[in-house]
């Protein structure tokens, strides 16, 4: 009994870590249930999560530089170091940027894979306070050694919570072979022990392919919808700026103001310089 008490904390810690294996970390070092955590200023608490996001951002910037700003599809690509796993996923660029609403948002994606071994490919958004998959899920992908590369269509359902940026992250782990070919889709939930056990039972081992990081990722941006009150406020502010610009440097004499309004070239030049030329020069510099 004494030895059982000694090993019980280590056993519980191992079970806790295994509970979210393949869907990010849960080791008590700032990840919080496997999700990223942000400080009050919006900075990431954990350096590993920061490095993951920077890698995804660099991949997106490289795509923009290569194909231009007008590209309609964002894609993310992964090839394992041993060459046994090759994955390519593309989603509509405009579909990954949407307004926060009460209804679910659908994003259509294509996943192409060429595998020499079976893998479990798990999908989850890393920051639920901004957005989350409804539901999160994972795929059991069979080897394509005999059939060649395969392409499947995915319909991601995302619930936006508030304005911000979160990241759809994808993990890959080696899985056991299934008798049936093709791709199996399974729902995932961290709080459901049955779903967790169903996922763990399909893994050949509990280490990610090529390390402990997500293999692919895409940014998801949630915008705040503009309501009538905000539009009215912007209109009032614009009118005030124009009015103040016109009377700037004038005595509050209606006759002088009227004289400037009849010949508004001076205020117009000042307005263009302040709100047009100066911002453009600052951006260029």
Residue 123 predicted with pLDDT over 90? yes
**Nearest partner of 156 among 129, 127, 183, 185, judged by Cα:** 185
pTM of the full predicted structure? 0.71
CATH code assigned to 46-223: 2.60.40.2550
pLDDT of residue 268: 82
pLDDT class for 165, splitting at 50, 70, 90? very high
pLDDT of residue 249: 61
**Residues 108-147 as b or e (16 or more Cβ within 10 Å = b):** ebebebbbebbbbbbbbbbbbebbbbeebbbbbbbbbeee
- The per-residue pLDDT for range 98-121, each reduced to its tens digit, is 998 888 999 999 999 999 989 999
Give how far the C-alpha of residue 12 lies from the chain's centroid of Cα atoms, to the nearest Å: 31
- The per-residue pLDDT for range 137-157, each reduced to its tens digit, is 999 999 888 889 999 999 999
């Amino acid at each position: 009994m004494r030895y059982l008490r000694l090993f019980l904390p280590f056993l519980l810690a191992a079970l806790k870590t295994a509970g979210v294996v393949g869907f990010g970390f849960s080791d008590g070092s700032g990840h919080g249930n496997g999700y990223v955590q942000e400080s009050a200023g919006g900075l990431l608490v954990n350096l590993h999560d920061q490095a993951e996001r920077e890698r995804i951002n660099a991949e997106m910037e490289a795509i923009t530089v290569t194909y231009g700003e007008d590209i309609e599809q964002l894609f993310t690509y992964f090839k394992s170091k041993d060459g046994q796993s090759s994955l390519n996923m593309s989603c509509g660029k405009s579909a990954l940027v949407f307004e926060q609403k009460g209804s679910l948002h659908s994003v259509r994606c294509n996943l192409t894979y060429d595998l020499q071994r079976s893998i479990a490919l798990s999908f989850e958004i890393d920051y639920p306070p901004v957005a989350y998959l409804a539901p999160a899920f994972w795929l059991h992908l069979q080897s394509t050694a005999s059939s060649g590369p395969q392409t499947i269509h995915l319909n991601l359902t995302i619930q936006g919570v508030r304005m911000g940026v979160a990241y759809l992250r994808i993990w890959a782990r080696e899985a056991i072979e299934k008798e049936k070919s093709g791709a199996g889709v399974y729902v995932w939930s961290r709080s459901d022990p049955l779903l967790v056990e169903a996922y763990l039972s399909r893994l050949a081992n509990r280490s990610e392919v090529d390390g402990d990081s997500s293999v692919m990722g895409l940014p998801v941006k949630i915008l705040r919808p503009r309501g009538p009150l905000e539009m009215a406020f912007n209109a009032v502010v614009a009118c005030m700026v124009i009015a103040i610009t016109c009377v700037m440097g004038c005595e509050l004499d209606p006759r002088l103001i009227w004289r400037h309004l009849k010949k508004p070239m001076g205020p117009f030049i000042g307005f263009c310089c302040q709100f047009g030329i100066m911002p453009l020069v600052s951006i260029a510099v």
